[in-house]
Amino acid sequence: MPEPTLTAAQKDAFAAVAARAGDLSRWCATIFDFAETAWREYRSADWYVARLRAEGFTVEEGSGGMPTAFCAQWSNGDGPVIGMYGEYDAVPGNCQAASSRREPRAGLGFQAGGHTDPHSGLGIGALGGLLATKAAMEKHGIRGGLRFTGEPAEKVRGSKPVHAAKGYYDGLAAMLSFHPFYMLPMCNTVRWDTHCGAGYAMIYRFICDAPEAWGRADGAPIPQSHSAVRAPGANDALMLMYQSSKSLREAMLPHQGGWSVSEAILTAGQATADNLPAGLAELQYMMRTPTVAMAEQVTAVLDRNAEAAAAMSGCRWERHWVSKSRPGLANHAMARTVWGAMQAAGAPVWDEAARDVARDIQKGLGLEPMKEPFLDEMTRLIAPEEAESILRRDLPPSQSHSTSDDYTDMSWHAPTARFYIARPALKAPGGYTYPNWVMNALGGIPATIDPMVRTAARVLAASALRLLEDAAARDAAMAEFQARTGGGVGGSDWLAPLCDYAPPIHFRWPEYVETPRGRDWWIPSAMPGA
């Protein structure tokens, strides 16, 4: 099949990406160094808002009631509006400098936030594509608009279900969703049929605010003796919940692929004396399931476990939603459009400077430096249907979705394509596994991450301009969206937003703090004896 011919506007968009390559590199390094985690991306969001306003966009800050979210819009006259978005949240416990050896960023410890996927490159790649599209639209008089949302807390599936429920994706002609590659076969390709599934996340809160009532048959006040019966408290409730849910995990869902349930302790303790029970403890669960029904089944089990744990420990319990995201909706017409743009843009190319960085990492780990240290697949394109065939090998025929990612909520409001561009990853000698910091570092070192950022920007711009200039491509995508939803938003087969909760911004999410010692992670970086 011959490669698509670029229009004059698409060629100019590619030139615009090249012209701003230095900016994109510096911007990516900036967000990488911020490395702010879910719901606490204050500097990152402020940076994007300022940059977008400087580029001529009108920006709503705090969109959807989320302080670190935003919605930016720009119009070049009446016409279709194309959606893109940026993510910028990092992950606690993954602090890594843009360095070829393991070291945290200056002034921090390893427990601070760090970019793993990396969302620093994701957001700047998307921004680069957005600005290149805008430049081409202005130069060629292409009518229409652009909408760019800032999506915090993706790692807990945070913002997109909220934005979807509040209408931020409505009215778009198309949505373009880019993510760095992180596992084969999703490398330099577009998702075809098997999209990501449902994602539920919640916090169970245990509160011991009436310990005197636990174990007292006669209702008498708590006795003076420390040896008398007294409530175990919130910490014990958390541990009971944690252990019982782990032991029941295999029974929570049918035995088929693509699901997981994981937990994280947010808050524990709050005891002020050795003879007082802890008053508050919080435990977060995140589940990835192929279907909403399976997520609801797991939730029912977890609710029962929480009720039992609370009763045993003298507590009451609450469930607070963090996310309820829908499974993804395929759109082959959109996938073909993006695949054509990907063929025109080509796969990322890593030069000798990048290979030198990779060899330095290998040498520092005691490995023999390789002439070609990067995975071969990173510089190849893989057709959507071929990637789909490989993906399906490990899934039962009845399973329609696999793993989870909250871009799926966008797919129910506009024709959506989900595509992947290769991030830098190293070949390993037989039996060797690289430590996690290596991938994190490669995502921050300009020589190794910039090729992915520039390639993603080209694919996004070429895709957006194809949809803006080619009414037939745009109409085909919308017709398929209408058919799959039974009439579009609100149609007979349309799945409405599941978000019926306020953004969970008030919990004790890990974050940076200002101290007399300066800016630090909430777990101090310099502990005595460390």
Residue 1: the pLDDT is: 46
pLDDT band of 25, cuts 50, 70, 90: very high
Considering Cα of 43, then 46, then 50, then 56, what sign does the dihedral take? Answer: positive
Examine the domain organization and report whether 473 and 380 are in the same domain. Answer: yes
Examine the domain organization and report whether 387 and 246 are in the same domain. Answer: no
Residue 106's CATH number: 3.40.630.10
| C-alpha to C-alpha distance for 341 and 335, rounded to whole angstroms | 10
Examine the domain organization and report whether 240 and 332 are in the same domain. Answer: no
Q: State pLDDT tens for residues 314-346.
A: 999 999 999 999 999 999 999 999 999 999 999
pLDDT band of 456, cuts 50, 70, 90: very high
Beta carbons of 52 and 69 less than 8 angstroms apart:
no
Examine the domain organization and report whether 305 and 426 are in the same domain. Answer: no
Please say if the pLDDT value at position 2 is more than 60: no
Strands (E) in 63-207, as ranges, are: 70-75, 81-87, 145-151, 174-180, 189-190, 198-207
Examine the domain organization and report whether 321 and 363 are in the same domain. Answer: no
| C-alpha to C-alpha distance for 342 and 384, rounded to whole angstroms | 11
Q: State pLDDT tens for residues 140-158.
A: 999 999 999 999 999 999 9
Examine the domain organization and report whether 189 and 214 are in the same domain. Answer: no
Q: State pLDDT tens for residues 213-248.
A: 777 666 555 555 555 667 888 989 999 999 999 888
| C-alpha to C-alpha distance for 504 and 66, rounded to whole angstroms | 9
The answer as to whether 521 is a domain residue is: no
The answer as to whether 103 is a domain residue is: yes
Q: Residue 369 has what DSSP assignment?
A: P
Examine the domain organization and report whether 378 and 293 are in the same domain. Answer: no
Beta-strand pair 280-289/145-151: unpaired
Which domain covers residue 219, as residue numbers?
A: 199-325
Query: Which range, of 8-17, 271-280, 363-372, 432-441, averages the lowest pLDDT?
Result: 271-280
Please say if the pLDDT value at position 467 is more than 90: yes
- Of the three residues 301, 325, 349, the one that is the final residue of a domain is 325
The answer as to whether 22 is a domain residue is: yes
Q: What is the mean pLDDT of the chain?
A: 92
C-alpha distances in angstroms, 188 versus 420, 422, 520? 5, 6, 37
Examine the domain organization and report whether 246 and 317 are in the same domain. Answer: yes
C-alpha distances in angstroms, 421 versus 180, 243, 270, 300, 403? 5, 39, 45, 38, 18
The answer as to whether 301 is a domain residue is: yes
- Of the three residues 300, 325, 350, the one that is the final residue of a domain is 325
The answer as to whether 494 is a domain residue is: no
C-alpha distances in angstroms, 282 versus 253, 303, 304, 410? 24, 14, 16, 30
The answer as to whether 519 is a domain residue is: no
Residue 85: the pLDDT is: 98
Task: Look up tokens 């910091």; give the residue.
Answer: 437
Residue 296's CATH number: 3.30.70.360
Beta carbons of 161 and 323 less than 8 angstroms apart:
yes
Dihedral angle, C-alpha 439, 189, 184, 197, nearest 10 °: 100
Task: Give me the percent of the chain exceeding a pLDDT of 90.
Answer: 81
pTM: 0.94
| C-alpha to C-alpha distance for 95 and 90, rounded to whole angstroms | 9
Residue 123: the pLDDT is: 98
Examine the domain organization and report whether 312 and 389 are in the same domain. Answer: no
- Of the three residues 302, 325, 348, the one that is the final residue of a domain is 325
Cβ density class 177-192: b for 16+ within 10 Å, e for less: bbbbbbebbbbbbbbb
Examine the domain organization and report whether 415 and 429 are in the same domain. Answer: yes
The answer as to whether 530 is a domain residue is: no
Mention every residue, 6+ apart, whose C-beta is less than 8 A from residue 524. 109, 515, 517
Average pLDDT over residues 277-290: 91
Examine the domain organization and report whether 364 and 421 are in the same domain. Answer: yes
C-alpha distances in angstroms, 3 versus 242, 343, 344? 53, 6, 6
Examine the domain organization and report whether 146 and 215 are in the same domain. Answer: no
Residue 193, token pair as written in the block: 């049929």
Number of domains in the chain: 2
Q: State pLDDT tens for residues 40-81.
A: 999 999 999 999 999 999 999 999 999 999 999 999 999 999
The answer as to whether 516 is a domain residue is: no
Beta carbons of 354 and 25 less than 8 angstroms apart:
no
Beta carbons of 222 and 212 less than 8 angstroms apart:
yes
Dihedral angle, C-alpha 127, 84, 320, 277, nearest 10 °: -20
